[in-house]
Amino acid sequence: MVIRKRNDMTQYASANDVKESALQKEYMKKAASYVTGLEAQLGRKPLCCVTTFGCQMNARDSEKLLGILTQIGYVPTDCEEEADFVIYNTCTVRDNANQRVYGRLGFLNSLKKKKPHMRIALCGCMMQEHAVIEKIKNSYRFVDLIFGTHNIYKFAQLLVTMFENHEMIIDIWEKTDQIVEDLPVSRKYPYKSGINIMFGCNNFCSYCIVPYVRGRERSREPGDILGEIERLVDDGVVEVMLLGQNVNSYGRNLPQPMTFAQLLREVEQIEGLRRIRFMTSHPKDLSDELIEVMQQSDKICRHLHLPVQAGSNRILQAMNRRYTKEQYLSLVDKIKTAMPDIAITTDIIVGFPGETLADVEETIDVVRKVQYDNAFTFIYSKRTGTPAAAMTNQVPDELVKEGFDKLLKVVQDTARERAALLQGKVMEALVEGVNEQDASYLTGRLTNNMLVHFPAEQRLIGQFVNVSLDVCHGFYYTGHVVC
């Protein structure tokens, strides 16, 4: 298979995509002139704040938003109160994410009353829902710009429209086929980066809103992905996280199809890249080829996020997950046999319609058997428009809570036991930054995705060090650097 590399990339990129990226660069220039005008009016550089809700895909999108904002002259700040432009990149996977956005919008309104030149924008998954747009139009009229997940690449153009108008701009698309490459990105970390390898999802798990708000699965061309990683590595990145809702189905819809395992083989060969991570893997699509590539790799981290969602076959079927508890467990066996030191983490939902305490026991049984290194446990949230929302057997809150508490205890106990196994070992960590509680400590990430805190000098940030994991504190370690 011929992989298109950086240098010959543009010749393969669709003419439309190239034209679109050139067009957006023109809009960036125009937007920059409005920001210069604002700077003259304020007598200082205007500040922007990008606030991210939700998953790693959103975090990556936020880096793209910030890339454009800094390119046109805004200076980034983490403080919404001092910002002249605030954008919320929203999530709608569970209702509590939506409620947080509404709550914080009230606060932004009070800021804007004091600073009438302030501009407020909303984007991301939540904006793809009609009911949300109606609510914002009616109750949050101070918002200046709203767009969705499919036209984020038009951000510069939308900003120009916003600067040239004084009413609310709303631009939501139902879908897109386009993947526009080559727009600016402002990375949060100099040494590690997320990379989108695909967008959207085709799985339609019955509880999940993602396929409705992110659209159908679209894979990026391997040459574009490899080219982006090579450029990042040239720029100091040593660890990448390949991102997709279901990375295991990567490449199926490409003109020249390829598998995710084949893509990983190519990424592995990039010189200077030290670590490769990826998420998320759907168990039904995880191939033997992928296990083999992981096993043979020196760079792919010993961590697999493998959402199980539930342990009861009846519930798994109603969730449309397309595997049984037995199939999941035998997959985990296969993975652990190939890589005994691998850390496995998962997502679990409690309270799916019709779920009984006996069903939750099945989930607990999976947790005990797999011995997850970590599990994200969620209470089922009813998402309008999904098949599960129309199911009549919704579970009462008290019952959900009872099952959730029982599950959480087992999850925490097993994760603690797993973490304790590594106490006293020396492992390589990528130093990510200064410890949030104690500035004389740094924080590093191990191959299994666990964190270790240790006293060291800040010049080590971004480098690999060997750390002795002296004390296990359940979900993290404290230790010291070993030369």
Footprint of ligand 5AD on this chain (CB under 6 A)? 93-94, 207-208, 307, 309, 347, 349, 378, 380-381, 383
Beta carbons of 351 and 395 less than 8 angstroms apart: yes
CB of 282 to ligand 5AD, least distance (A): 9
249 belongs to the binding site for ligand SF4 (CB under 6 A): no
| CA neighbor of 222 nearest in space, from 194, 263, 181, 259 | 263
Contact flag: residue 208 with ligand SF4 (CB under 6 A): yes
Size of the site for ligand SF4 (CB under 6 A): 10
Taking the alpha carbons of 321, 310, 449, 401 in that order, is the dihedral positive or negative? positive
Position with the least CB separation from ligand 5AD: 347
> Whole-angstrom Cα distance, residue 48 to residue 69?
7
Q: Which is nearer to ligand SF4, 47 or 213 (CB)?
A: 213
Strands (E), 135-174: 145-147, 169-171
Q: What's the closest the beta carbon of residue 311 comes to ligand SF4, in angstroms? A: 16
Asked if 88 contacts 103 with a C-beta cutoff of 8 angstroms, the reply is no
- Report what 201 binds from ligand SF4, ligand 5AD, none; CB cut-off 5-8 Å by kind: ligand SF4
- Residue 246 is a binding residue for ligand SF4 (CB under 6 A): yes
Q: Is there a contact between 162 and 145 (Cβ–Cβ < 8 Å)?
A: yes
* Distances in whole angstroms, Cα of residue 440 to Cα of each of 144, 428, 472, 477, 478: 43, 20, 19, 16, 13
204 binds ligand SF4 (CB under 6 A): yes
Applying CB under 6 A, does 205 fall inside the site for ligand SF4?
Answer: yes
- Pick the piece of the chain touching ligand SF4 (CB under 6 A) from 136-144, 185-193, 202-210, 465-473: 202-210
Q: Tell which residue, 246, 339, 321, 320, has the closest CA to residue 286.
A: 246
Residue 383 interaction partner, one of ligand 5AD, ligand SF4, none, beta carbon < 5-8 Å per kind: ligand 5AD
For ligand SF4, the closer CB: 107 or 204:
204
Phi, psi (degrees; rounded to nearest 5) at 451:
-105, 145
Of residues 273 through 292, those in contact with ligand SF4 by CB under 6 A are 282
Indicate which of ligand SF4, ligand 5AD, none lies near residue 204 (CB less than 5 to 8 Å, by partner kind). ligand SF4
Work out whether 97 is an interface residue with ligand SF4 (CB under 6 A): no
C-alpha to C-alpha distance for 423 and 416, rounded to whole angstroms: 11
| Binding of ligand SF4 by 210 (CB under 6 A) | yes
C-alpha span between 349 and 365 (Å, rounded): 15
Applying CB under 6 A, the span of 24-32, 47-55, 203-211, 310-318 interacting with ligand SF4 comes to 203-211
**Nearest to ligand SF4 of 48, 210 (CB atom):** 210
Query: DSSP secondary structure string, 267-290?
Result: HHT-TT--EEEEE---GGG--HHH
Quote the radius of gyration of the chain (alpha carbons, Å): 23
Residue 50 CB, nearest approach to ligand 5AD (Å):
21
Options 148-156, 196-204, 297-305, 409-417: segment touching ligand SF4 (CB under 6 A): 196-204
CB nearer to ligand 5AD: give 57 or 294. 57
Identity of residue 409: K
Binding of ligand SF4 at residue 192 (CB under 6 A)?
Answer: no
Q: How far is the CB of 133 from ligand 5AD (least distance, A)?
A: 20
Q: Which is nearer to ligand SF4, 100 or 322 (CB)?
A: 322
Q: Does 201 bind ligand SF4 (CB under 6 A)?
A: yes
d(CA 359, CA 150): 38
Decide: is 211 part of the binding site for ligand SF4 (CB under 6 A). yes
Gap between the Cα atoms of 280 and 276, Å rounded: 13
- Would you say 232 or 348 has its CB closer to ligand SF4? 348
> Are the CB atoms for 373 and 86 separated by under 8 Å?
no
State yes or no: residue 388 binds ligand SF4 (CB under 6 A): no
Cα dihedral 200, 204, 209, 215 sign: positive
Binding site for ligand SF4 (CB under 6 A): 201, 203-205, 208, 210-211, 245-246, 282
